[in-house]
Structure 1
Amino acid sequence: MPAINFFQEEVSFTLKDKLKLKKWIKETIEAEGYKLQELNYIFCSDEYLLQMNQQYLDHDTLTDIITFDNSETPGKIVGDIFISIERIRENAEKFNVTETRELQRVIIHGTLHLLGYPDKKPAEKKVMTEKEDFYLNNITF
Protein backbone atom coordinates (compact mmCIF):
# COMPACT_ATOMS: atom_id res chain seq x y z
CA MET A 1 0.00 0.00 0.00
CA PRO A 2 1.53 3.34 -1.02
CA ALA A 3 2.20 5.67 1.88
CA ILE A 4 2.97 9.32 2.45
CA ASN A 5 4.00 10.05 6.03
CA PHE A 6 4.70 13.26 7.89
CA PHE A 7 7.06 13.43 10.89
CA GLN A 8 8.70 16.08 13.07
CA GLU A 9 12.21 16.30 14.49
CA GLU A 10 13.28 19.02 16.93
CA VAL A 11 10.48 21.38 15.90
CA SER A 12 6.94 22.10 16.98
CA PHE A 13 4.85 22.30 13.83
CA THR A 14 1.27 21.51 12.86
CA LEU A 15 0.73 20.52 9.26
CA LYS A 16 -2.66 21.52 7.87
CA ASP A 17 -4.65 19.77 5.13
CA LYS A 18 -2.67 16.51 5.36
CA LEU A 19 -5.11 14.47 3.29
CA LYS A 20 -5.28 17.10 0.54
CA LEU A 21 -1.48 17.38 0.53
CA LYS A 22 -1.13 13.61 0.22
CA LYS A 23 -3.58 13.55 -2.71
CA TRP A 24 -1.72 16.40 -4.45
CA ILE A 25 1.69 14.74 -3.98
CA LYS A 26 0.38 11.38 -5.22
CA GLU A 27 -1.25 13.01 -8.27
CA THR A 28 2.02 14.82 -9.06
CA ILE A 29 3.97 11.55 -8.89
CA GLU A 30 1.46 9.77 -11.14
CA ALA A 31 1.34 12.70 -13.60
CA GLU A 32 5.09 12.27 -14.06
CA GLY A 33 4.63 8.57 -14.86
CA TYR A 34 5.88 7.17 -11.54
CA LYS A 35 4.31 5.00 -8.87
CA LEU A 36 4.41 5.88 -5.20
CA GLN A 37 5.66 3.28 -2.74
CA GLU A 38 6.68 5.26 0.33
CA LEU A 39 7.47 8.89 0.89
CA ASN A 40 8.37 10.43 4.24
CA TYR A 41 8.43 14.16 4.89
CA ILE A 42 10.32 15.08 8.03
CA PHE A 43 9.80 18.65 9.25
CA CYS A 44 12.72 19.75 11.37
CA SER A 45 14.82 22.59 12.76
CA ASP A 46 17.67 24.39 11.00
CA GLU A 47 20.14 22.75 13.38
CA TYR A 48 18.81 19.25 12.68
CA LEU A 49 18.99 19.78 8.92
CA LEU A 50 22.45 21.38 9.16
CA GLN A 51 23.74 18.29 10.95
CA MET A 52 22.29 16.08 8.21
CA ASN A 53 23.81 18.31 5.55
CA GLN A 54 27.22 18.02 7.19
CA GLN A 55 26.99 14.29 7.88
CA TYR A 56 25.54 13.01 4.61
CA LEU A 57 26.37 15.65 2.00
CA ASP A 58 29.55 17.19 3.45
CA HIS A 59 27.99 20.66 3.16
CA ASP A 60 28.32 23.17 5.99
CA THR A 61 25.42 25.43 5.10
CA LEU A 62 21.80 25.93 6.06
CA THR A 63 19.28 24.68 3.54
CA ASP A 64 15.53 24.43 3.32
CA ILE A 65 15.43 20.83 2.09
CA ILE A 66 17.42 17.63 1.71
CA THR A 67 16.03 14.77 -0.36
CA PHE A 68 17.13 11.15 -0.08
CA ASP A 69 16.12 8.81 -2.90
CA ASN A 70 15.76 5.30 -1.46
CA SER A 71 14.17 3.79 -4.56
CA GLU A 72 15.46 0.42 -5.66
CA THR A 73 13.15 -0.04 -8.66
CA PRO A 74 13.03 2.40 -11.58
CA GLY A 75 9.71 4.21 -11.78
CA LYS A 76 8.84 3.60 -8.11
CA ILE A 77 9.19 6.37 -5.55
CA VAL A 78 10.68 5.64 -2.14
CA GLY A 79 12.28 8.55 -0.33
CA ASP A 80 12.82 10.74 2.68
CA ILE A 81 12.50 14.51 2.40
CA PHE A 82 13.75 16.66 5.27
CA ILE A 83 12.42 20.22 5.43
CA SER A 84 13.54 23.01 7.74
CA ILE A 85 10.49 24.84 9.08
CA GLU A 86 12.74 27.74 10.10
CA ARG A 87 13.97 28.13 6.49
CA ILE A 88 10.36 27.91 5.24
CA ARG A 89 9.32 30.76 7.53
CA GLU A 90 12.31 32.90 6.62
CA ASN A 91 11.96 32.25 2.87
CA ALA A 92 8.24 33.03 2.98
CA GLU A 93 9.04 36.44 4.39
CA LYS A 94 11.94 36.96 1.98
CA PHE A 95 9.87 36.05 -1.11
CA ASN A 96 6.69 37.71 0.19
CA VAL A 97 4.55 34.56 0.09
CA THR A 98 2.58 32.77 2.79
CA GLU A 99 4.30 30.11 4.85
CA THR A 100 1.78 27.60 3.51
CA ARG A 101 2.66 28.44 -0.10
CA GLU A 102 6.40 28.25 0.58
CA LEU A 103 5.96 24.89 2.32
CA GLN A 104 3.98 23.59 -0.66
CA ARG A 105 6.73 24.78 -3.01
CA VAL A 106 9.43 23.02 -1.02
CA ILE A 107 7.35 19.84 -0.64
CA ILE A 108 6.88 19.61 -4.41
CA HIS A 109 10.52 20.61 -5.03
CA GLY A 110 11.74 17.60 -3.06
CA THR A 111 9.21 15.37 -4.78
CA LEU A 112 10.42 16.58 -8.19
CA HIS A 113 13.99 15.65 -7.23
CA LEU A 114 12.76 12.08 -6.63
CA LEU A 115 11.09 12.23 -10.04
CA GLY A 116 14.46 12.86 -11.68
CA TYR A 117 14.62 16.65 -11.88
CA PRO A 118 18.01 18.09 -10.89
CA ASP A 119 18.59 21.80 -10.27
CA LYS A 120 22.35 22.36 -10.11
CA LYS A 121 22.78 24.04 -13.52
CA PRO A 122 20.87 27.16 -14.65
CA ALA A 123 18.94 25.25 -17.35
CA GLU A 124 17.98 22.54 -14.83
CA LYS A 125 16.91 25.16 -12.29
CA LYS A 126 14.69 26.78 -14.93
CA VAL A 127 12.94 23.48 -15.66
CA MET A 128 12.59 22.76 -11.91
CA THR A 129 11.00 26.17 -11.30
CA GLU A 130 8.61 25.68 -14.23
CA LYS A 131 7.56 22.28 -12.85
CA GLU A 132 7.12 23.70 -9.34
CA ASP A 133 4.96 26.52 -10.71
CA PHE A 134 2.91 24.09 -12.80
CA TYR A 135 2.10 21.82 -9.87
CA LEU A 136 1.58 24.72 -7.46
CA ASN A 137 -0.97 26.15 -9.89
CA ASN A 138 -2.80 22.81 -9.84
CA ILE A 139 -3.39 22.66 -6.08
CA THR A 140 -7.11 22.33 -5.46
CA PHE A 141 -7.13 23.67 -1.89
Structure 2
Amino acid sequence: MISFNYENDFELPDEAKYEEWISEIIDSEDKTEGEINYIFCNDDYLLEKNIEFLNHDTLTDIISFDYSMGNLISGDIFISTERVKDNAIDFNVAFEEELKRVMAHGVLHYCGYKDKTEDDVAVMRAKEEEKIALFHVEQ
Protein backbone atom coordinates (compact mmCIF):
# COMPACT_ATOMS: atom_id res chain seq x y z
CA MET A 1 0.00 0.00 0.00
CA ILE A 2 1.36 3.36 -1.00
CA SER A 3 0.17 6.49 0.76
CA PHE A 4 0.89 10.18 0.33
CA ASN A 5 0.96 12.59 3.26
CA TYR A 6 1.44 16.34 3.21
CA GLU A 7 3.10 18.48 5.87
CA ASN A 8 3.10 21.56 3.62
CA ASP A 9 0.86 23.08 0.95
CA PHE A 10 2.10 20.76 -1.81
CA GLU A 11 -0.14 18.04 -3.25
CA LEU A 12 0.49 15.51 -6.01
CA PRO A 13 -1.72 16.29 -9.02
CA ASP A 14 -2.88 12.69 -9.51
CA GLU A 15 -2.13 10.39 -6.58
CA ALA A 16 -3.51 7.29 -8.33
CA LYS A 17 -1.10 7.75 -11.25
CA TYR A 18 1.88 8.11 -8.89
CA GLU A 19 0.74 5.15 -6.81
CA GLU A 20 0.50 2.97 -9.92
CA TRP A 21 3.95 4.12 -11.03
CA ILE A 22 5.61 3.36 -7.69
CA SER A 23 3.97 -0.08 -7.70
CA GLU A 24 5.35 -0.63 -11.20
CA ILE A 25 8.87 0.32 -10.04
CA ILE A 26 8.70 -2.20 -7.21
CA ASP A 27 7.31 -4.88 -9.51
CA SER A 28 9.99 -4.20 -12.14
CA GLU A 29 12.63 -4.97 -9.50
CA ASP A 30 10.95 -8.31 -8.61
CA LYS A 31 10.04 -7.04 -5.16
CA THR A 32 6.75 -7.16 -3.26
CA GLU A 33 4.96 -3.97 -2.29
CA GLY A 34 4.51 -3.51 1.43
CA GLU A 35 3.57 -0.25 3.12
CA ILE A 36 5.28 2.82 1.69
CA ASN A 37 4.48 6.26 3.04
CA TYR A 38 5.59 9.38 1.20
CA ILE A 39 5.64 12.48 3.40
CA PHE A 40 5.99 15.74 1.48
CA CYS A 41 7.27 18.62 3.60
CA ASN A 42 9.34 21.80 3.63
CA ASP A 43 13.05 22.29 4.36
CA ASP A 44 12.59 23.07 8.06
CA TYR A 45 10.52 19.93 8.66
CA LEU A 46 13.06 17.70 6.92
CA LEU A 47 16.03 19.42 8.56
CA GLU A 48 14.47 18.64 11.93
CA LYS A 49 14.21 14.93 10.93
CA ASN A 50 17.77 14.98 9.61
CA ILE A 51 19.10 16.32 12.92
CA GLU A 52 16.87 14.15 15.12
CA PHE A 53 17.41 10.80 13.41
CA LEU A 54 20.67 11.10 11.46
CA ASN A 55 22.53 13.79 13.43
CA HIS A 56 23.09 15.73 10.17
CA ASP A 57 22.57 19.50 10.39
CA THR A 58 22.18 19.94 6.63
CA LEU A 59 19.37 20.47 4.16
CA THR A 60 18.50 17.50 1.98
CA ASP A 61 15.83 16.62 -0.57
CA ILE A 62 15.03 13.16 0.79
CA ILE A 63 15.36 11.00 3.87
CA SER A 64 14.13 7.44 3.74
CA PHE A 65 13.56 5.02 6.60
CA ASP A 66 13.70 1.46 5.30
CA TYR A 67 11.50 -1.12 7.04
CA SER A 68 11.81 -3.69 4.25
CA MET A 69 12.09 -7.35 5.13
CA GLY A 70 13.56 -9.49 2.38
CA ASN A 71 11.65 -8.79 -0.82
CA LEU A 72 8.78 -7.00 0.99
CA ILE A 73 9.45 -3.31 0.37
CA SER A 74 8.27 -0.95 3.13
CA GLY A 75 9.32 2.40 4.54
CA ASP A 76 8.77 6.09 5.10
CA ILE A 77 10.10 8.52 2.50
CA PHE A 78 10.30 12.19 3.50
CA ILE A 79 10.72 14.64 0.61
CA SER A 80 11.32 18.39 0.88
CA THR A 81 9.48 19.95 -2.03
CA GLU A 82 11.50 23.15 -1.43
CA ARG A 83 14.77 21.26 -2.06
CA VAL A 84 13.25 19.52 -5.09
CA LYS A 85 12.27 22.92 -6.52
CA ASP A 86 15.75 24.34 -5.96
CA ASN A 87 17.42 21.22 -7.37
CA ALA A 88 15.20 21.33 -10.45
CA ILE A 89 16.43 24.87 -11.11
CA ASP A 90 20.06 23.86 -10.45
CA PHE A 91 19.81 20.82 -12.76
CA ASN A 92 17.74 22.75 -15.35
CA VAL A 93 14.87 20.24 -15.33
CA ALA A 94 11.15 20.58 -14.68
CA PHE A 95 9.99 20.32 -11.07
CA GLU A 96 7.86 17.27 -11.96
CA GLU A 97 10.88 15.49 -13.45
CA GLU A 98 13.04 16.13 -10.39
CA LEU A 99 10.20 15.07 -8.09
CA LYS A 100 9.88 11.76 -9.94
CA ARG A 101 13.64 11.23 -9.68
CA VAL A 102 13.57 11.74 -5.92
CA MET A 103 10.46 9.59 -5.45
CA ALA A 104 12.05 6.77 -7.45
CA HIS A 105 15.34 7.23 -5.59
CA GLY A 106 13.74 6.44 -2.23
CA VAL A 107 12.13 3.23 -3.48
CA LEU A 108 15.33 2.18 -5.26
CA HIS A 109 17.18 2.36 -1.94
CA TYR A 110 14.63 -0.11 -0.56
CA CYS A 111 15.32 -2.35 -3.55
CA GLY A 112 18.99 -2.51 -2.57
CA TYR A 113 20.60 0.26 -4.60
CA LYS A 114 23.15 2.47 -2.85
CA ASP A 115 24.71 5.86 -3.57
CA LYS A 116 27.83 6.00 -1.42
CA THR A 117 30.50 5.44 -4.10
CA GLU A 118 30.87 6.93 -7.59
CA ASP A 119 30.01 3.55 -9.15
CA ASP A 120 26.94 3.23 -6.91
CA VAL A 121 25.82 6.74 -7.88
CA ALA A 122 26.19 5.92 -11.59
CA VAL A 123 24.05 2.78 -11.20
CA MET A 124 21.49 4.69 -9.10
CA ARG A 125 21.21 7.49 -11.70
CA ALA A 126 20.71 4.97 -14.51
CA LYS A 127 18.02 3.18 -12.48
CA GLU A 128 16.30 6.50 -11.71
CA GLU A 129 16.14 7.31 -15.43
CA GLU A 130 14.86 3.81 -16.22
CA LYS A 131 12.10 4.14 -13.60
CA ILE A 132 11.12 7.68 -14.58
CA ALA A 133 10.53 6.30 -18.10
CA LEU A 134 7.91 3.95 -16.60
CA PHE A 135 5.73 6.93 -15.62
CA HIS A 136 2.92 7.03 -18.15
CA VAL A 137 1.41 10.35 -19.12
CA GLU A 138 -1.69 8.65 -20.49
CA GLN A 139 -3.05 5.62 -18.63
Pairwise TM-score range, normalised by the shorter structure: over 0.9
Q: TM-score, normalised by structure 1?
A: 0.94
Alignment check: 8 A CA contact 2:24 2:134 kept = no
- Does 1:97 pair with 2:98? no
Q: Distance in 2 between matches of 1:133 and 1:27?
A: 14
Give the SS at the match of 1:119.
Answer: coil
**Structure 2 runs not aligned, ≥5 long:** none
- Does 1:130 pair with 2:122? no
Query: What is the match of residue 14 of structure 1?
Result: 11
Q: Distance in 1 between matches of 2:134 and 2:2?
A: 19
Q: Distance in 1 between matches of 2:131 and 2:91?
A: 18
Alignment check: 8 A CA contact 2:64 2:77 kept = yes
Query: What is the match of residue 44 of structure 2?
Result: 47
Give the SS at the match of 2:105.
Answer: helix
CA RMSD of aligned residues (A): 0.8
Give the SS at the match of 2:20.
Answer: helix
Q: Distance in 1 between matches of 2:11 and 2:71?
A: 31
Alignment check: 8 A CA contact 2:25 2:134 kept = no
Q: Distance in 2 between matches of 1:137 and 1:78?
A: 23
Q: Distance in 2 between matches of 1:103 and 1:138?
A: 14
Give % identity.
47
- Does 1:57 pair with 2:57? no
Query: What is the match of residue 34 of structure 1?
Result: 31
Stretches of 4+ aligned residues off by more than 3 angstroms: none
In terms of mean alpha carbon deviation, does 13-22 or 125-134 score higher?
13-22
Q: Distance in 2 between matches of 1:6 and 1:127?
A: 27
Give the SS at the match of 1:78.
Answer: strand
- Number of residue pairs aligned between Structure 1 and Structure 2: 137
Query: What is the match of residue 74 of structure 1?
Result: 70
Following superposition, the deviation at residue 47 of structure 1 comes to: 0.6
Q: TM-score, normalised by structure 2?
A: 0.95
Give the SS at the match of 1:91.
Answer: helix
- For residues 72-122 of structure 1, what are the alpha-carbon distances to aligned partners after superposition, in whole Å with 9 as ceiling and x for unaligned? x31001100000010011111111111111111100001101111110110
1:4 partner amino acid? I
Following superposition, the deviation at residue 138 of structure 1 comes to: 2.3
